[in-house]
Amino acid sequence: MRAARPLLATLVLASCVLASLSAVGCSSKDAPVVAGGAVWQLQGSTCQDRSIHKLAVTATGDNGQPVDRLLSDGADGARVRCQLDGSHFNVALSNANGALVASGSISGATSTNASITFNVPQGTYKTTTVPCSLAILQNDGANFSANIACKQLDNPSLSGDECAIDNTGASVTSYFQFENCTGF
């Protein structure tokens, strides 16, 4: 069992609850809504954007403090996609704050060939020649989460703007989390 993520608490919304907000009645045949969230911090001496980025909904927790919740596909302008099979993943998450798109193969609890693109206000950072690595925390066919490490992320629109994600000395551990994924 993995430990709970401190910055991105999981919010599982049953599709009946979502359906009841927009229509009367609820069918037990409603598919669960895909949800996802991500937190990352770009690093590096030539990196133009070293701020912490979140793709999440901030809500008030039981203790009155703000907590981050997963974005649900279609809610609050969010688009969330997650596809998994036994050996591959393809995920995408976006809202007004930015976007994350990632794909690659899975071998046990790792992925060493992940292609990842981060869209942030400073620009688009993506893998070019060096793939990212993922330490997979959960992969049960419907839920997928992983810590992210990237040795090189390039911003093609700004010459020399090269970043990394190594989680060493970072203010946060960079990761993503998805629920209710589908097959390919």
pLDDT band (50, 70, 90) for residue 64: very high
| 13-36: average pLDDT | 54
Residue 115 pLDDT greater than 90, yes or no = yes
- Give pLDDT, residue 22: 35
Q: How far apart are CA 68 and CA 130, in angstroms?
A: 31
180, 144 in Cβ contact below 8 A? no
User: Could you tell me what percent of the chain has a pLDDT over 70?
Assistant: 84
Q: What is the pLDDT of residues 144-175, one digit of tens each?
A: 999 999 999 999 888 888 999 988 777 889 99
163, 87 in Cβ contact below 8 A? no
In this structure, the strands spanning 144-154 and 110-120 are unpaired
- Give pLDDT, residue 5: 45
pLDDT band (50, 70, 90) for residue 50: confident
Residue 11 pLDDT greater than 50, yes or no = no
Q: What is the pLDDT of residues 116-141, one digit of tens each?
A: 999 998 889 999 889 999 999 999 99
- Give pLDDT, residue 29: 67
**In Å, what is the CA distance from 154 to each residue of 44, 78, 125, 150, 151?**
11, 25, 5, 11, 10
| 63-81: average pLDDT | 95
Q: Give 168's contacts (C-beta < 8 A, 6+ positions apart).
A: none
